[in-house]
Chains A and B, each alone.
Chain A
Amino acid sequence: MLLTTRSLTKTFPGAKALDSVDFGLAAGEVHALLGENGAGKSTLIKCLTGAYTRDSGDIALDGAPISPRSTSEAQELGIGTVYQEINLLPNLTVAQNLTFGREPTRFGMVDGHAQRRRAETMLEGYGIDIDVSRDLAAYSVAVRQIVAIARAVALSGKVLILDEPTASLDAREVATLFNVLRGLRDRGLGIVFVSHFLDQVFELTDRVTVLRNGRKVVTENTADLDRVRLIEHMLGHALEDEVSTRARTGGATARPDLLRFEGYGRPGRIEPFDLSVGKGEVLGLAGLLGSGRTESAELMFGVTPAQTGAATDAGGMLDLSSPRAAIAAGFGFAPEERKEDGIVADLSVRENIVLALQARRGWARPIPRAEQLRLAQMYIDRLDIRTSGPEQPVGDLSGGNQQKVVLARWLAMTPRFLILDEPTRGIDVGAHAEILRLIRHLAADGMSILVISSELDELIAVADRVIVVRDRRHVAELAGADITSDTIVRAIAAPDAKPTEAAQ
């Protein structure tokens, strides 16, 4: 075995995150680390790399005991890591981020030219074409993710650890990444791969270790497992009805219009589009990353206000010039980047859930404490948020559970139009099905919902209509039986296909 742990244990106040975990990574394998949100995957990784100090247990690399005290010490031992919450420096350039700590020097000074060249070499093979001398902040999450991976790959002499590396990548980028990983595996690296996408697990990995509530449940060859068995290991029980299939109600169910956007656009971000939203309708927004999906959402929510067109409802024109105005108009928006735009890490689960509600009521009318606790407890139960209690700081929750808190904040608002940008990012299989069910349920109760997602299965499962975005334009609209992964993929890809106009 290349890297092993023996009875690794880690306790946090109020939670035993790891309980005597034995884990073994062989050279030349990709080893999936799976489990529900809060099972302890990220904690195991952080204990391995010294980001957390373990309470007890041993770690060995090549048979020799190791005890790295920091990520950089782990790197020196040949363990490269991409954490779930990427820790790059957005205000440095891509090249500086890639070579950070190992800058090429000339006469004792950083050699900018060599630095850029090295950065470009490091990014070769990942299929992204970017200017490495620009600030990292200028690029999307997907690009940042790839930069983080490229950096870790370069630092990993023996072991590469990836915590949900594909959460914000789309299919094409995942394929490129997998090629890179297979190449590394063939060179004898041991790779730990965490993901909630089981398809990817079956496609890429050789062995699987499942954690549940901080305990190791099983380690098996991936080939000996099937999806159902794997899910049973993860949840401890079978999952009924994984992706809720539902009877499609033909093409056009007549729904009264709730909202209309006409000629809505902003030069440089998204071309003007027309969109009508029916009451109780679930709209899907599909497209590659950077195609203009998030930009559309940000326009509708007033994050970057529209410069052309108008939004109307039955009562007339709507003011959507700022998030506050949009909220006043009954809108809600759960953003894509939970760490930067979603959670308020130091505040408690309770405070995070009531935040939007409180902001709408105004500072002078505090929500009574009992009511806050009731709401928090309700969503903790309903979304199965794993926390030691409503007063735990959100920053201490696992990634998927943080995501659930952001969703809860907006569900608590009961908006009439809710925009969900990648609502299931980082969420486990069990909760995933539950959230899709919840979306259908809310729509049935009359809420209109716009779901942005890279997972086509997800859109197919919940959407009544799917809008396809490409190159910052709404290029196609699919409804009813036309919504299949085939038609969506074709609409996303075909650059020359005649746009079936979103506007009738």
Chain B
Amino acid sequence: MRNALRRVIPQLVTLAALVALISVFFPDVLRIEVMDGRLVGPVMDILKRGAPVGLLAIGMTLVIATRGIDLSVGTVMAITGAVAAWSITQGYGLGGALVLALLAGVAAGLWNGTLVAIAGIQPIVATLILMTSGRGIAQLVTEGRILTFSHEGLAFFGSGTLLGVPVPAVLWGATAIGVALLMTRTALGMLIEAVGVNRSAASLAGANARVLIVAVYVTSGLCAALAGIVATADIRGADANNAGLWLELDAILAVVIGGNSLLGGRFSIAASVLGALIIQTVDTGILLAGFPSDYNLVIKAGLVLLILVVQSPNLAHRWYALRRTAREQRKAAMTSAKEPGE
């Protein structure tokens, strides 16, 4: 537990620094008010808007831990969102819509996982196939238009609240906690890490690498499906062209800001989720600070670069080495001062 906390200190510090920076421009960032039984304020907004990337980052973390990558998650959001909207308009009811959307996510994950683990295609190529072709599938579902619906039950997943907290935020938090517990309370976490670091050694030790890799892509598909449901519910419609567009990149960025290595192995779900929170805080912060929106992307890129550089282990190491030499020089100076004869 103590270790888990220590692991996310850089992300927490970054987040705190960001909030401090924003409060220079917009002093009320942390203010939360109660309106009509809902909590409102920038924090709630960040938690709600950050949900899709946060959900994607959870699955992406596991995929990256196996030394893979899932470029298709943004597209899978579009597909699953379309499936949910279509099912609702076809009258399958809320339960049917949710189940069908989640099944679509599972199917996407199975497809990716099979290509990677069984056909042996490089993950970046394997998932690129679905990334590029998947929007076509989504368009087939929506028949090429923006498929709108008016179903309060489904809309609840986008704009509803639970005990005053936005439902997307609840979904995001619950999924993160659930997956993190699954990884640490069972042996899944260790087995996934072992496969990611050295698949050959893990297989010889009896780990079922294929099944684990497929499972990880399925999890990523499921997370994308949840994100797709949230996005569709939020706008009460499915937009095959724009839903989840480029979000796979934000999800990967969240994992990286979370300090997880793209080379696989050790991972932390909590850190990735904080990474997603950091990205959303940057986005929202730029708006709150009142910069013209043309600058958004440039400012965001600059901040992200700064965060990555500051968090880089290399730099931390240099800093540590520097401090140690300084300490030793001081010590040496002191001893030689004490014993001038030597």
Q: How many A-B residue pairs lie within 8 Å, measured between CB atoms?
A: 75
B44 interface residue per 8 A CB criterion: no
B335 interface residue per 8 A CB criterion: no
Asked whether, in the complex, the Cβ of A366 is within 8 Å of the Cβ of B187, the reply is yes
Q: Which of A329-386 contact B (CB under 8 A)?
A: 333, 335, 340-347, 351, 355-356, 358-367
Q: Which residues of A contact B (CB under 8 A)?
A: 53, 56, 301, 303, 323-324, 327, 333, 335, 340-347, 351, 355-356, 358-367, 409
| Cβ distance B56 to chain A, nearest Cβ, rounded Å | 24
Asked whether, in the complex, the Cβ of B186 is within 8 Å of the Cβ of A347, the reply is no
Q: What residues on A are CB-neighbors of B322 within 8 Å?
A: none
Complexed CA–CA distance, A494 and B203 (Å): 38
B206 interface residue per 8 A CB criterion: yes
- Chain A CB count within 10 A is highest, among B186, B194, B204, B207, for B204
Chain B residue nearest in CB terms to A351: B190
B20 interface residue per 8 A CB criterion: no
Q: What residues on A are CB-neighbors of B186 within 8 Å?
A: 363-366
Q: What residues on B are CB-neighbors of A363 within 8 Å?
A: 186-188, 191
Asked whether, in the complex, the Cβ of A323 is within 8 Å of the Cβ of B266, the reply is no
- With contacts A341-B201, A355-B205, A359-B205 taken as known, whether A347 is within 8 angstroms of B191 at the C-beta atoms is no
- With contacts A323-B206, A327-B206, A356-B206 taken as known, whether A343 is within 8 angstroms of B190 at the C-beta atoms is no
30 residue pairs of the A-B complex, CB under 8 angstroms, read A301-B204, A323-B203, A323-B205, A323-B206, A324-B206, A333-B204, A340-B200, A341-B198, A342-B204, A343-B198, A343-B201, A344-B202, A345-B197, A345-B198, A346-B193, A346-B197, A346-B265, A347-B190, A347-B193, A347-B265, A351-B194, A355-B190, A355-B194, A355-B207, A356-B205, A358-B187, A359-B202, A363-B187, A363-B191, A364-B187
Asked whether, in the complex, the Cβ of B204 is within 8 Å of the Cβ of A344, the reply is no
Q: What residues on A are CB-neighbors of B205 within 8 Å?
A: 323, 355-356, 359, 409
B6 interface residue per 8 A CB criterion: no
- With contacts A340-B201, A343-B198, A344-B201 taken as known, whether A359 is within 8 angstroms of B193 at the C-beta atoms is no
Chain B residue nearest in CB terms to A328: B206
B2 interface residue per 8 A CB criterion: no
Q: What residues on A are CB-neighbors of B204 within 8 Å?
A: 301, 303, 323, 333, 335, 341-342
The 10 closest A-B pairs by CB, nearest first: A359-B206, A356-B205, A346-B265, A366-B187, A327-B206, A359-B207, A363-B187, A355-B205, A346-B197, A363-B188
Q: What residues on B are CB-neighbors of A364 within 8 Å?
A: 186-187
What total of chain B residues lie within 8 Å of the partner, measured CB to CB? Answer: 23
Asked whether, in the complex, the Cβ of A347 is within 8 Å of the Cβ of B197, the reply is yes
Chain B residue nearest in CB terms to A350: B190
Q: Which residues of B contact A (CB under 8 A)?
A: 185-188, 190-191, 193-194, 197-198, 200-208, 265-266, 321, 328
Complexed CA–CA distance, A351 and B208 (Å): 16
Q: What residues on B are CB-neighbors of A343 within 8 Å?
A: 198, 201
Chain A residue nearest in CB terms to B207: A359
Asked whether, in the complex, the Cβ of B206 is within 8 Å of the Cβ of A344, the reply is no
Complexed CA–CA distance, A356 and B203 (Å): 9
Asked whether, in the complex, the Cβ of B208 is within 8 Å of the Cβ of A366, the reply is no
Chain B residue nearest in CB terms to A409: B205
Q: What residues on B are CB-neighbors of A355 within 8 Å?
A: 190, 194, 202, 205, 207
Q: What residues on A are CB-neighbors of B198 within 8 Å?
A: 340-341, 343-345
Complexed CA–CA distance, A344 and B200 (Å): 9
Asked whether, in the complex, the Cβ of B208 is within 8 Å of the Cβ of A344, the reply is no
Q: What residues on A are CB-neighbors of B201 within 8 Å?
A: 340-344
7 further contact pairs, Cβ within 8 A, besides A301-B204, A340-B201, A344-B201:
A327-B206, A341-B198, A342-B201, A344-B197, A345-B197, A359-B208, A364-B186
Chain A residue nearest in CB terms to B265: A346
| Cβ distance B218 to chain A, nearest Cβ, rounded Å | 14
Q: What residues on A are CB-neighbors of B191 within 8 Å?
A: 358-359, 363
Chain A residue nearest in CB terms to B205: A356
Chain B residue nearest in CB terms to A361: B187
Chain B residue nearest in CB terms to A367: B187
